[in-house]
Chain A
């Protein structure tokens, strides 16, 4: 390949499972010498409650472990390696200052139950972060407790349920547009709600009329993602909120895409009652291969009486944990939240300031529209209009040559890029959902655009090349059917 390709083959090493390495008696650790009497375990605990051995556990040296994980790491793609335009996942650069701050001993080595008087720095950080997030969202209070975005959604729905229950009945249904993330209906179902879908209109947004038709006094609320998963701003949001509020319902916003308008508009000013923030998206904390995240929930005043315990309050110059919230839903996890992740988000917000946060939103939208403008025509655009932070194409043109979205995605790997989100949102057949984020330069976007155009040409001229992709990674396409039909979920010693 020539031209847009940045992917090449480096020296990648094979590495067996750890269980197939090592030898009896090999050690990778050192522990302090015993300084108390070395009593036998069975003198302290009845033998029937003890084990002798952990069968199968490895015995390897420190060097073995370092090589094992370093070799495996090289089979992974990350933002540090290159462009990762996974739509809706907001794979922006993860600043390293954030990592250093989270690892300061005063944070990383602090116990959650240590006395408040020796936790004032941590509490101050949480209190200030709550103020920042409330201001960014135009809300009154924020619970920092949820562990990830979906966990935040769950808490948001619990708050709505508690609110309605306090008025007499939890109600029965939640309205969810067909373009929603799968977590929205799942979170509603965990709270016992029946899901009422509404279809998006021809402009790619929810039409107020469609909401009005299903809105009644059995509906607890609506969950709207804004901008939605097509990357389009739900421009009827104010009207939709009025319809829902008119029947006593609550408006939940899935804030997964808040990064598109931070500093430009605020959910709380649009009639939204409650929203979760994915700090591993909007506020730059790393995804780590699937977590940890944090999913703070920002809410209007009327939902605050139901917030989980504890909240952080400021009394004079002292910060304190408040467990006295009589109508609280309780707790959705232990302690106070993903504190270390929240330290990273706090660091990011203070690195960016108000102007920087707004600039991030603007550039993310410019970058997405730039890709949209350059690939339009080469790839089919199901909703042909400006987008916010992400754009959605599909494979309608390439399907004439029997090349589908999955093939395009896999072929992108050979060019050195992570594929976009594929086959989502479900309302676009063969969707390719591209989110560049603001942390990519125009040169990177141009390389990606060139690669996408090259793949479109290949689809016409040499479809097998695309259908056989990827050719460069250490492994080719996996047999997922076999994985599901004959589940092999753990190593076992060979018989």
Chain B
């Protein structure tokens, strides 16, 4: 076996040095009654070449956005990612390192995380960021738990325009400690209804959770939501599944958000059929002791040289155990490294330009699709790179027809919203050319 260097002869020498006759003697403490008396029933080992063929065959059965023209978003976005990212994160020093518990020989990971935290603060307009969570939905759930700890209140008000899976995950977490939920409906603009939000919020509310841009692609007025929450002493949690939007949108921190929890996948991370992704999590400085996750801080060594360490660990499970702010341990350092390289490579101008391209292409597609036979824009609010299209034919049939033309046309909203069962959620990014958008419109019935 090429991953196990020691030969039988090496093992023999070691067993002799240990003073046992056979390896069996080292397993004598596992009761005979529970020993497995047969080989595991899994396929026999394959050579590297044979296995690459088998797995290559599986991969080839899937659509990929290189071969299909895809208009799917809904929490996972097809963005361009610079070639250098794959090369840099393949360096064994990043790839094969552990969590940086020993700072003297982990400064590469630590400085990268310090830069990541800074970039997330700059992007979201918040004061502090942790070094990553698992992904956007569980980060949002952790934000809600943090709001519950900070306010001591047990009620959560969530906009129905928040990603359905984020709501579901938040609910799964929160029901463990019996938090209760209220839902803010959406308006004809496709935004969370501010008047209903005001009605639902009270002095029992721990937080109001909204998403921006929301699940329908609509840009919410966060400033108004923050004021509504603040008026009753509740916190505003903003979920951001599409952070590329922050290249042009006013950051939640400037709008009065207390916690921003988001999905970093859009920042150069492969879609990879749903993961691994990157939860980002940022808040105000005064809430830092209740923040979950790892934090990297700057300090100096014995000679006064600047360096970085994991810090404020007294919030964490390995020190505080059942009193920790979260049970999270391993998070997403390498994916955060991808996002860091992406943000630094695109920089100030690049991220703005990508965001603008998304906005313009989606706006072009929106106009085109609004004119196809039976097509209608469901909501009137301003959108970023996604929008909801109402169709006359059954959405499932529309998508099936498109798939025959190598087009993945969007998401059927009926699976999450019965009231939108005649609607598709369409996403357009900088990866979709005008030609592709025109082909989509043509395949859906052309102009009116």
Q: Is B378 part of the contact surface with A, judged by Cβ < 8 Å? A: no
Q: Is A405 part of the contact surface with B, judged by Cβ < 8 Å? A: no
B90 CB contacts on chain A under 8 angstroms: 99
| Chain B residue with Cβ nearest A150 | B329
| Chain B residue with Cβ nearest A115 | B403
Pick from B62, B302, B354: contact of A120, CB under 8 Å = B62
Residue pair A74, B108 in contact (C-beta under 8 Å)? yes
Residue pair B104, A473 in contact (C-beta under 8 Å)? yes
Number of interface residues of B (CB under 8 A): 207
Least Cβ–Cβ distance between B157 and chain A, in angstroms: 19
Instruction: Say whether, besides A334-B136, A335-B76, A441 and B106 are in contact (CB < 8 Å).
Output: no
B31 CB contacts on chain A under 8 angstroms: 235, 238
| Chain B residue with Cβ nearest A92 | B3
Residue pair A290, B100 in contact (C-beta under 8 Å)? yes
Pick from B57, B112, B317, B319: contact of A69, CB under 8 Å = B112
| Chain B residue with Cβ nearest A278 | B330
Pick from A109, A338, A347: contact of B271, CB under 8 Å = A109
- How many angstroms from the CA of A32 to the CA of B131 in the assembled complex? 32
A97 CB contacts on chain B under 8 angstroms: 48, 51-52
- How many angstroms from the CA of A100 to the CA of B51 in the assembled complex? 12
Pick from A261, A343, A477: contact of B104, CB under 8 Å = A477
A341 CB contacts on chain B under 8 angstroms: 275-276
| Chain B residue with Cβ nearest A423 | B318
Residue pair B109, A101 in contact (C-beta under 8 Å)? no
Instruction: Say whether, besides A28-B344, A183-B317, A122 and B94 are in contact (CB < 8 Å).
Output: no
Residue pair A355, B18 in contact (C-beta under 8 Å)? no
Q: Is A331 part of the contact surface with B, judged by Cβ < 8 Å? A: yes
A418 CB contacts on chain B under 8 angstroms: 98, 102, 105
Residue pair A31, B6 in contact (C-beta under 8 Å)? no
Residue pair A81, B92 in contact (C-beta under 8 Å)? yes
Instruction: Say whether, besides A29-B82, A280-B330, A333-B134, A58 and B76 are in contact (CB < 8 Å).
Output: no
Residue pair A103, B86 in contact (C-beta under 8 Å)? yes
- How many angstroms from the CA of A488 to the CA of B134 in the assembled complex? 24
Residue pair B348, A57 in contact (C-beta under 8 Å)? yes
Residue pair A473, B105 in contact (C-beta under 8 Å)? yes
Instruction: Say whether, besides A118-B68, A149-B329, A363-B4, A354 and B135 are in contact (CB < 8 Å).
Output: no
Q: Is B236 part of the contact surface with A, judged by Cβ < 8 Å? A: no
B273 CB contacts on chain A under 8 angstroms: 107, 110-112, 119, 122, 335-336, 339-340
B135 CB contacts on chain A under 8 angstroms: 147, 333-334
| Chain B residue with Cβ nearest A69 | B88
| Chain B residue with Cβ nearest A194 | B322
- How many angstroms from the CA of A491 to the CA of B118 in the assembled complex? 6
Q: Is B178 part of the contact surface with A, judged by Cβ < 8 Å? A: yes
Give B23-54 as 1s and 0s: 1 = Cβ < 8 Å from A's Cβ atoms: 10111111101111001111111101001101
Residue pair A115, B176 in contact (C-beta under 8 Å)? no
Residue pair A118, B26 in contact (C-beta under 8 Å)? no
Contacts of A155-181 to chain B: CB distance below 8 A: 158, 161, 181
Which of B14, B91, B408 has the most A CB atoms < 10 Å from its CB?
B14
- How many angstroms from the CA of A39 to the CA of B249 in the assembled complex? 16
A246 CB contacts on chain B under 8 angstroms: none
Q: Which of A40-48, A206-214, A396-404, A451-459 makes up part of the contact surface?
A: A40-48
Q: Which of B195-203, B293-301, B369-377 makes up part of the contact surface?
A: B293-301
Q: Is B434 part of the contact surface with A, judged by Cβ < 8 Å? A: yes
Give A465-483 as 1s and 0s: 1 = Cβ < 8 Å from B's Cβ atoms: 0000010011111111011
Which of A114, A158, A360 has the most B CB atoms < 10 Å from its CB?
A114
Residue pair B107, A475 in contact (C-beta under 8 Å)? yes
A25 CB contacts on chain B under 8 angstroms: 349
Residue pair B330, A287 in contact (C-beta under 8 Å)? yes
Q: Is B328 part of the contact surface with A, judged by Cβ < 8 Å? A: yes
Q: Which of B180-188, B225-233, B360-368, B439-447 makes up part of the contact surface?
A: B360-368
- How many angstroms from the CA of A58 to the CA of B343 in the assembled complex? 8
Least Cβ–Cβ distance between B392 and chain A, in angstroms: 21
Give A105-130 as 1s and 0s: 1 = Cβ < 8 Å from B's Cβ atoms: 11111111111011111101100000
| 6 more CB-based (< 8 A) A-B contacts, given A60-B345, A75-B105, A121-B59 | A32-B433, A44-B363, A68-B344, A119-B273, A265-B35, A266-B36
Can you list 25 A-B contacts with CB-CB less than 8 angstroms, sorted by A residue number? A44-B382, A57-B122, A69-B88, A73-B94, A80-B96, A86-B98, A110-B271, A147-B134, A150-B327, A182-B321, A195-B322, A284-B3, A290-B333, A292-B330, A331-B168, A334-B277, A339-B276, A350-B55, A352-B45, A353-B46, A360-B3, A365-B23, A474-B104, A483-B299, A490-B129
